[in-house]
Amino acid sequence: MSLPKIIWSKIDEAPALATYSLLPIVNAFTKAAGVTVETSDISLAGRVLAALGLAEDNLAELGKVVHQPDGNIIKLPNISASIGQLKECIAELQGQGYDIPDFPENPSTPEEEAIRAKYNPCLGSAVNPVLREGNSDRRAAKAVKRFAQNHPHRLRDFAENSKTYVTHMNGDGDFYGNEKAVVIDNAQKVTIALNGKELKTINALDGEILDGTYMSVAKLRTFIQKTIDDAKENGVLWSIHLKATMMKVSDPIMFGHALEVFFAPVFEKYADTFKELGVNARLGISDIELKIAGHEKETEILAAFKTVVDSDAPEIAMVDSDKGQTNFNASNDVIIDASMPVVVREGGKQWNRNGDAKECVAVIPDASYGLFYEEMVKDCVANGQYDVSTMGSVANVGLMAQKAEEYGSHPTTFEMAEAGKVTVTAEDGTELMSFDVEAGDIWRMSRAKDIPIKDWIRLAVERASIEKVPTIFWLDSNRAHDAEMIKKVNTYLADHDTDGLDIQIMDVAAATIFTNARVREGKNTIAVTGNVLRDYLTDMYPILELGTSAKMLSIVPLLAGGGLYETGAGGSAPKHVDQFLAEGHLRWDSLGEFLALAESLRFIGRKHSDEKLQALTEALDVANDGYLDNNKAPSRKAGEPDNKASHFYVAQYWADALANGKNAELAEKFAPVAQALKDNEAKIIEELLSVEGKAQDIGGYYNPNEELAEKAMRPSATLNSIIDGI
């Protein structure tokens, strides 16, 4: 019997390398139950080539799959490219012989404008808005949580009088404070204009929430300067935390302003030189160093930067002390959902230039999400570090379908070309909202459609009914968008049976305090949040609870009836690749892939009753438990079993569970496989370790050579023979 296929995304960095080892195993097992697993290349390199007509547009094809009732996609974490990453990728592809143009940072001709238009869709969060045609259900599998409590990872203690704190603009000129919102009555065109000149016209849907807001750049720069002065006075490291990958228009701009304020004397003195060289502060110090390389004033400019660091400013937190890379190295180096959990995990500390951990101020300009991180840090400063062995779990139901909220806002985010008035106007000319702005301010519109909101509320009630724990909608009545959302929540909750369920609405600060108190008591809670908080919470709590967010179950029940199964976070993947290329050791943990595959198979089983499929899925559950119980996660150190070995053990446990399972045909098929994997374990591990400590050439970072990458990730001839022979 042929069952619906699973599409496995081919993506970037460490998870992509792991796929070369894992996917042959997955295919060998699933085909025995009639399930085909196909790959689809949505890597940054693949998307660049597709944008230029040199490869199939697989992302567009997957955009169709998510609208199919049997759509079934396993999505590994992909690069949300910054301009710097995109330029690196283009250069690599050019070096591999692809005849593609350079990325025009500042297009000045129609030809350059056309090239830039082709490349723009590759920037930022290009994949997620296309594939996430459903809301998010993220939680820790019971076996994963049990393992973490029994084998607690280390969280560093906060000092008794820790000086670490989070600071934000608190509504004074930020997106939070300037927000307005409306609900659209009938489907219609809505136009955004600056001083009567159209910026964008959108097709708004009936019942859709539109919110408009802006960041005052003048107030942002004043705020940044105050945080610098306060950090120096308080004797703490200074760091800024943004998400310039997903928020690819607004956050690089804010990053650039922070860099210019911090190094104001340099930017003032060398303004003409920087203009001549095309320096763009939004790309960070690393790009400035490239632009000034070889210039007659290079040494002088570098010395000027050093003077500020040495005398006029607080210490800057480092992203890599060994390489001398500060928080300002590149806008995509410090990504808030990865960086802030580390601040909490490390006892409120970041690293200085000498590699020493020091207390810090985390600067998060917009209060919308700064409030969450502020309360997280305040809780630990007041009450000490969490206890991994006893802490409760925080699940999340996230609104993200159909490009909901801020992470879908980049097409409607603009840097103001001039001062004046931004208007949002209905099709009949009625003014829905207006905003007085200054030149350079950052204006954006976010959207949340009615159908996704209804489904989000339905999913929240469903999870509350299953888990029987407090379920909290994180919505702030003082924020215009949330005030409209609260009305919808109260209306649509009435459509569900909520008797006996504890469902509440709290603002971000109150929800954080409530949730953290329960976490410390060992109690579980469900957070029901918008799109950005979904991302931030489902990194913060899992990193504290489990050691990594890559171990979370991340399920997206698609609105059309299919399923998208995400496999964790990729924030540390670049460092993993660096280690692999230098030492042949890949420490990426594929547990997220193992768990996603089990859920993907289970989804098929719910729609297509099949004994073999049921046996295969149950056996994978057993294998995943065995992987956790026997602690077969990859070591961080070269010379010890890595990602490749973890795949071997899952194959061994999976085959053994099938050999002893209730399906006779699969038991007969996999009994000799299980035996061969057991008998040859020592030899296989020896062969897998044979590449440890040796530099690896895979032909490219963004676009590896398939043959070289597979050879590097499948070094055991014995294991390959057993798997390929199934």
The rounded distance, in Å, linking the Cα atoms of 415 and 214 is 9
pTM: 0.90
Burial profile 112-126: b = 16 or more Cβ within 10 angstroms, e = fewer: beebeeebeebbbbb
Q: Average of pLDDT values for 598-623?
A: 95
Task: Give the pair of three-digit tokens for residue 447.
Answer: 């959207």
Pick the CATH number of 175-216+410-447 from 1.50.10, 2.60.40, 3.30.420, 3.40.50: 2.60.40
pLDDT score of 571 more than 80:
no
pLDDT of the residue at 1: 54
Give the percent of the chain with pLDDT over 70. 99
Burial of 311 (0-12, 13-18, 19+ CB in 10 A): exposed
Give the percent of the chain with pLDDT over 90. 91
pLDDT tens digits for range 693-713: 999 999 999 999 999 999 999
pLDDT of the residue at 570: 61
Q: Is 480 helix (H, G, I), strand (E, B) or coil?
A: helix
212 touches 434 (CB < 8 A): no
pLDDT tens digits for range 96-110: 999 999 999 889 999
pLDDT of the residue at 475: 98
pLDDT tens digits for range 488-522: 999 999 999 999 999 999 999 999 999 999 999 99
Q: Is 413 helix (H, G, I), strand (E, B) or coil?
A: strand
Its sign, for the CA torsion 579, 583, 588, 589, is negative
pLDDT tens digits for range 123-147: 987 898 899 999 999 999 888 999 9
pLDDT score of 418 more than 80:
yes
Lowest-pLDDT range, 123-132, 165-174, 676-685?
123-132
Which among 5, 185, 19, 1 has a CA at the least distance from the CA of 704? 19
DSSP string spanning 434-453?
EEEE-TT-EEEEEEE-HHHH
Q: How confident is the model at residue 310 (pLDDT cuts 50, 70, 90)?
A: confident
pLDDT tens digits for range 54-64: 999 999 999 99
247 secondary structure, DSSP code = S
pLDDT tens digits for range 312-366: 779 999 988 888 889 999 998 889 999 999 999 999 999 999 999 999 999 999 9
pLDDT of the residue at 204: 97
- SS3 of 98-146: the string is CCCCCCCCCCCCHHHHHHHHHHHHHCECCCHHHHCCECEEEEECHHHHH
Mutual angle of helices 13-30 and 717-724, in 10-degree steps: 40
The rounded distance, in Å, linking the Cα atoms of 543 and 552 is 10
Contacts of 179 (CB under 8 A, 6+ apart): 211, 212, 213, 479, 480, 481
Q: Average of pLDDT values for 576-598?
A: 95
pLDDT tens digits for range 241-294: 999 988 989 999 999 999 999 999 999 999 999 999 999 999 999 999 999 999
The residues spanned by each domain of the chain are 165-169+217-383, 175-216+410-447
